[in-house]
Amino acid sequence: MTIKALKNQHLLLFETVSGSHAYGLQHKDSDVDLRGVFVMPKKRFYSLTHIEQVSDERNDEVYYELKKFINMLVKNKPNFLEMLGSPADCIRYKHPLFDLLKLTDFLSKQAKNTFAGYALSQIKKARGLNKKIVNPMTEQRKSVLEFCYIQYGQGSMPLLKFLAKNNFNQANCGLVNVAHMKGVFALFHNPDLSYQGIIRGEKSNDICLSSIPKKEKPIGVLYFNKDGYSLYCKAHTQYWEWVNKRNQARYESTMNHGKNYDAKNMMHTFRLLHNAEEIARTGTFQVRRTHDKAFLRQVRTGEFQYDDLVKIAEEKILEINELFDCCDLPDSPNIEQANDLLLEIREGFYQQ
C-alpha cells in the first residue's frame, strides 16, 4: 500500500500539516510534514494482512490506520493528540466521520507522563548532547597503556611517562598477577628475554601476562584501570556513532549559537511542558502556540544558557506534577467509548 494508493482509493479520513507549521514556529527552511489517518479497504481489513501505517522514504508524510490512531489517542501520545487538535488552517482534508473524535474525550492524567515525562527524557538527551559537544573525542581510540599506572614514591606515575623516563619499550616488559590484588601486576623488564609485552598490539583491549624466570626481579608494580578503560571504550563508541548519525545542519546550528545544546530539541521540550501544564489546568491544550511563541523562538535561537534552561525545565516539571495530582482529569480515557467510536467510524466508512 502506498500513499498514492490511499488517496486514489479514497481511503483517507484526515490529512493535516504537522510539526513547526502547526505549532506556528516554522522558519523559512522548515519542512512541510504531512500526517493523516486512513481506513483499510474492507476486504483487506478482514484478511490476514494488517497495515498500521504508510509513509514515504523520509517519513515526511505518514498516515496511520484508524485502529492504530485511536489506540495512540487512548495512550495519550502527544503526536497523535496534536493531529486531533490541528489548527484549521493546517487541515487539508477531513471526512465528516472524523468529527466524531474529540480531543477532550481522550485527554487524561496519562498526559503527565507522555508529555512532561517525554520532555524530561529530552532534557536528559540534551545533557548527553551537551556532554558530547563540550567533550569531543579523537577518532583514534586510546590505548590500554594510557590506563596503566606505576607505583611511584607515595603516589603513582602514568605508565607511558615511566617508560619514556627509563627509555623502555613496552614490548620488552612482562607482567605477572599479584595475588589477591585485582588489577595489580608485578612489572619486569628485560630486552634479552622473550616477554609478551604489556599489550600485544595497539588495538589490544587488555594487558597480557608473561612467563617470568624465578631469578628475575620486578622493577615496579603496575595497576591497570580496566573499569575506566571499559567506560572510555563505551563512551568512545557512542560518541562516534552520534557523530556519524547526527543531523549536520542542526549540529552546525548548535555550534553557531555557541550554547552547546540542540536548540530545536530544547524548544520542543518546553513546548511539551507548556502543553502538559495547559492540560492539567484546563483539560485541553492548544497546538498552535501563541502566548509562549516568543519564548520558544528565543530558545530555538540559543538566547539562553543551557544550565538555565535545564533549571527552568526541572522547576516546571515539579509544578506540573503538583497540577496533575489535583486536576479533574480521569486517570485514563474511557476504553469502551473509544471502542464504540472506532466501530462507528469504520462501519460508517464501509457503508459509504
Q: How far apart are CA 122 and CA 262, in angstroms?
A: 10
CA distances from 12 to 18, 101, 217 (A): 16, 15, 82
Q: How far apart are CA 90 and CA 274, in angstroms?
A: 21
Cell for 112? 503527565
Look at the block and give the residue holding cell 498500521.
Answer: 52
pLDDT for position 139: 87
Q: How far apart are CA 65 and CA 122, in angstroms?
A: 28
Q: How far apart are CA 118 and CA 122, in angstroms?
A: 6
Q: How far apart are CA 187 and CA 152, in angstroms?
A: 13
pLDDT for position 128: 58
pLDDT for position 38: 97
CA distances from 308 to 299, 314, 317 (A): 11, 10, 14
pLDDT for position 126: 64
11: Cβ–Cβ under 8 A, 6 or more apart, which residues?
5, 38, 39, 40, 41
pLDDT for position 251: 53
**Residue 49 gets which letter from DSSP?**
-
Burial of 289 (0-12, 13-18, 19+ CB in 10 A): buried
pLDDT for position 265: 83
pLDDT for position 151: 94
Spatial contact of 349 and 13, defined as CB atoms under 8 Å apart: yes
Q: How far apart are CA 98 and CA 39, in angstroms?
A: 11
The SS3 of residue 180 is coil
Name all domains of the chain by residue range, CATH numbers in brackets: 1-105+333-352 (3.30.460), 107-136+247-330 (no CATH), 144-226 (no CATH)
- H or E element at residue 173: strand 173-177
Q: How far apart are CA 343 and CA 276, in angstroms?
A: 30
Cell for 11? 481511503
Q: How far apart are CA 36 and CA 29, in angstroms?
A: 23
Q: Indicate yes or no: pTM above 0.85.
A: no
Cell for 275? 502543553
Q: What are phi and psi of 221, to 5 degrees?
A: -115, 125
The residues facing 148 across adjacent strands are 224
List the 61-65 sheet strands across, edge first: 53-55, 61-65, 33-38, 12-18, 91-94
Spatial contact of 146 and 225, defined as CB atoms under 8 Å apart: no
pLDDT for position 246: 65
Spatial contact of 87 and 3, defined as CB atoms under 8 Å apart: no
Work out whether strand 155-158 and strand 33-38 pair parallel, antiparallel, or are unpaired: unpaired
Spatial contact of 264 and 250, defined as CB atoms under 8 Å apart: yes
pLDDT for position 301: 86
**Ordered per-residue pLDDT tens for the chain, 352 residues:** 889 999 999 999 999 999 999 999 998 878 899 999 999 998 888 888 888 999 988 889 999 999 999 999 999 999 999 999 999 999 999 999 999 999 999 999 999 999 998 888 777 766 655 556 666 888 899 999 999 999 998 899 999 999 999 999 999 999 999 999 999 999 999 999 999 999 998 889 999 999 999 999 999 999 999 999 999 999 899 888 877 876 655 555 554 555 556 788 889 999 999 999 999 999 999 999 999 999 999 998 888 888 888 899 989 999 999 999 999 999 999 999 999 999 999 999 999 8
Q: Of 248, 273, 280, which is closest to residue 262 (Cα–Cα)?
A: 248
pLDDT for position 202: 84
